[in-house]
């Protein structure tokens, strides 16, 4: 029932593993690790059970665990970088390949493919285990990178980006799933913070790298993926020895009908969102019809999942308690806010301060580096104190303060001031990267890790799309309504109808050639328009604070029970003395 927050039995923290439990776990190849301790760090100080048993030495994580974490961090960085790098390089690529007529597909085929595939990946990872889909996703991403880098036509480039998107969509989902398989709920925050913070760094650096390589040789944007993916793939193949899951899993359980409804529906919706206000006016039937069809299809998908599907990829129980449902809302809101800040802060630096694209990237470093640090801090705090609601409350409150301070930005704002504004912002948004998914999983069974993580990855991806669409509508609308204050007709033409964003990257070179009074008018238009974006971020952050109240406080389990944990020993090792197969462990 909606609004119920009863804790699943298998997530009960601190439960001792009895002899009977151990026998059952050995038979079903399920990992059960109890790491309850007294210091709250989730590492475990003594073995579970046996009330008077002497404490055992704390067991550290195996080398394979650390190698997998390195591989996941590499994948998080490279997949996010590739999603963000296109913004500044896209005009150059389009001009060279001659793809102006298919501009929207060149720019967004990656996002369409990544978003549409994510619920399917969650089911495949339950059926085939985590390793095979992970390897397949990395291979697809690598193949797509090679195709896009070597493209000599718009069609080949779009195909390469779509293949990349399929791989990236799988990577987004499987990073979360694999990390959750290896760690108890209470420990997940700090590790997810470290892994996903690299995605935040990549998102910050992407526009700068895209601009630099776009001016030199844009093909290296994609060729650089190949060695990084090669290293990650080698680590996964060599070290990711994990259990393959429940023995009754079968391809016959795949929700084929649900995916056939979901994929075209979300693609249609995304087409409307990314073309609205850019290719066609928002009132155009070419925008309205895809959005309406997409929303209708999405509704049909969830009705099918709830009433018809025998093994739904997105089961309704994921949203049946207020903590999980509220967590998904917070994931969407934080993604929108992260993308809003990341998309429009460079515009401030380039158009208002007057920096080059490269320097705007340097000025953005407090945001990039701060995201990495704040995500890790948030995860560590959640693991140590075992709470998430206070962290979420403080996070969105700081985000509101950060966006409020952004409204004060002017051409003469001191560097130390906007650098601190950025740091306040990331200490608001950074912790949400690592602490929202564990909160969502706190109200769900361990069996729902794959589907819940897939939905979480989709919600984040979908939030990034809205984080561009909504602020862009606001920004472009305010620019158009204030162009009357610009006395130069040619400049008004360049800034009108969505041209102001791209124009910002040329501001450093154009400003010296334009009358200072006229250029001051242009800067004033940017200040007013950006201020509207910052007010949007402020309002959404406050809304996030209220949504935190939807969450309930659930204990974060220090016990891990999973069918997909690390194998304790590799294939071919001897059986246990009792005749059972070698057990598995995750920590």
Residue pLDDT, tens place only, 79-103 = 878 777 776 677 678 778 887 667 7
Average pLDDT over residues 118-133: 88
Distance CA(582)–CA(242), nearest Å, equals 12
Higher pLDDT, 289 or 35: 289
Residue pLDDT, tens place only, 524-556 = 999 999 999 999 999 999 999 999 999 988 888
Taking 80 as the threshold, does the pLDDT of residue 566 lie above it?
no
Q: What are the start-end ranges of the H helices in 443-510?
A: 449-482, 489-495, 500-504, 507-510
Query: What pLDDT score does 79 carry?
Result: 82
DSSP conformation class of 562: E
User: Which of 56-65, 245-254, 255-264 has the highest mean predicted lDDT (pLDDT)?
Assistant: 255-264
Taking 80 as the threshold, does the pLDDT of residue 64 lie above it?
yes
**Cβ-count burial of 246 within 10 angstroms (0-12 exposed, 13-18 middle, 19+ buried)?**
middle
Q: Which two tokens stand for residue 541?
A: 């952050």
The angle subtended at Cα 443 by Cα 438 and Cα 444, nearest 5°, is: 90
Residue pLDDT, tens place only, 9-52 = 444 443 443 433 433 333 334 444 444 343 444 444 443 344 44
Taking 90 as the threshold, does the pLDDT of residue 248 lie above it?
no
Residues 6+ apart with CB under 8 A from 47: 53, 55, 56
Taking 80 as the threshold, does the pLDDT of residue 56 lie above it?
no
Distance CA(45)–CA(29), nearest Å, equals 24
Nearest to 462 by CA among 175, 168, 116: 116
Mean pLDDT of the chain: 81
Average pLDDT over residues 119-132: 88
Higher pLDDT, 29 or 435: 435
Q: In which residue are the tokens 């906007």 written?
A: 418
Query: What pLDDT score does 203 carry?
Result: 67
Q: Which two tokens stand for residue 45?
A: 């100080």
CB 433 within 8 A of CB 200: yes
CB 400 within 8 A of CB 545: yes
Query: What pLDDT score does 292 carry?
Result: 95
Lowest mean pLDDT among 10-14, 301-305, 407-411: 10-14
Distance CA(202)–CA(194), nearest Å, equals 13
């Amino acid at each position: 029932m909606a609004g119920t927050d009863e804790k699943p039995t298998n997530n009960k923290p601190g439960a001792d593993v009895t002899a009977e439990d151990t026998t059952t776990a050995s038979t079903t190849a399920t990992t059960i690790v109890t790491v309850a301790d007294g210091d709250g760090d989730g590492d475990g100080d003594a073995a579970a059970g046996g009330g008077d048993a002497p404490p055992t030495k704390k067991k550290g994580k195996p080398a394979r665990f650390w190698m997998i974490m390195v591989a996941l961090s590499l994948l998080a960085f490279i997949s996010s970088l590739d999603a963000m790098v296109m913004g500044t390089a896209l005009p150059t690529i389009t001009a060279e390949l001659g793809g102006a007529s298919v501009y929207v597909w060149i720019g967004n085929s990656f996002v369409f493919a990544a978003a549409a595939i994510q619920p399917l990946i969650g089911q495949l990872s339950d059926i085939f285990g985590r390793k095979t889909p992970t390897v397949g996703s990395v291979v697809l991403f690598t193949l797509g990178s090679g195709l896009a880098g070597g493209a000599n036509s718009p069609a080949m480039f779009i195909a390469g980006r779509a293949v990349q998107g399929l791989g990236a969509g799988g990577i987004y989902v499987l990073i979360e799933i694999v990390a959750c398989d290896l760690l108890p709920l209470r420990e997940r925050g700090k590790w997810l913070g470290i892994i996903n913070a690299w995605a935040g760094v990549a998102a910050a650096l992407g526009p700068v790298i895209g601009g630099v390589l776009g001016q030199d040789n844009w093909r290296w944007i994609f060729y650089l993926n190949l060695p990084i993916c090669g290293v990650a793939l080698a680590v996964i193949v060599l070290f990711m020895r994990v259990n393959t899951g429940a023995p009754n899993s079968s391809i016959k359980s795949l929700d084929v009908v649900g995916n056939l409804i979901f994929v075209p529906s979300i693609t249609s919706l995304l087409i409307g969102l990314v073309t609205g206000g850019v290719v066609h006016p928002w009132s155009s039937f070419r925008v309205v019809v895809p959005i309406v069809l997409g929303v209708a299809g999405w509704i049909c998908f969830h009705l099918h999942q709830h009433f018809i599907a025998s093994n739904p990829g997105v089961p309704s129980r994921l949203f049946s308690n207020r903590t999980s449902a509220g967590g998904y809302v917070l994931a969407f809101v934080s993604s929108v806010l992260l993308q809003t800040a990341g998309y429009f802060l460079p515009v401030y630096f380039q158009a208002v301060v007057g920096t080059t694209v490269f320097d705007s990237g340097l000025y953005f470093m407090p945001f990039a580096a701060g995201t990495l640090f704040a995500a890790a801090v948030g995860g560590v705090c959640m693991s140590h104190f075992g709470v998430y609601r206070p962290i979420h409350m403080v996070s969105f409150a700081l985000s509101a303060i950060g966006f409020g301070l952004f409204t004060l930005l002017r051409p003469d704002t001191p560097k130390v001031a906007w650098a601190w504004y950025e740091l306040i912002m990331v200490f608001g948004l950074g912790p949400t990267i690592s602490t929202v998914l564990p909160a969502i999983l706190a109200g769900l069974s361990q069996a729902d890790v794959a589907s819940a993580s897939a939905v979480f990855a989709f919600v984040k991806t979908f939030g990034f799309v809205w984080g561009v669409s909504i602020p862009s509508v606001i920004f472009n609308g305010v620019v158009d309504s204030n162009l009357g204050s610009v006395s130069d007709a040619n400049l008004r033409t360049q800034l009108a109808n969505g041209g102001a964003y791209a124009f910002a990257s040329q501001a450093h070179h154009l400003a010296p050639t334009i009358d200072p009074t006229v250029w001051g008018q242009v800067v004033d238009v940017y200040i007013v328009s950006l201020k509207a974006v910052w007010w949007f971020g402020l309002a959404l952050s406050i809304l996030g604070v209220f949504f935190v109240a939807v969450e309930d406080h659930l204990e974060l389990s220090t016990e891990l029970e999973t069918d997909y944990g690390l194998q304790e020993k590799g294939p071919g090792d001897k059986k246990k003395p009792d005749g059972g197969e070698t057990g598995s462990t995750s920590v």
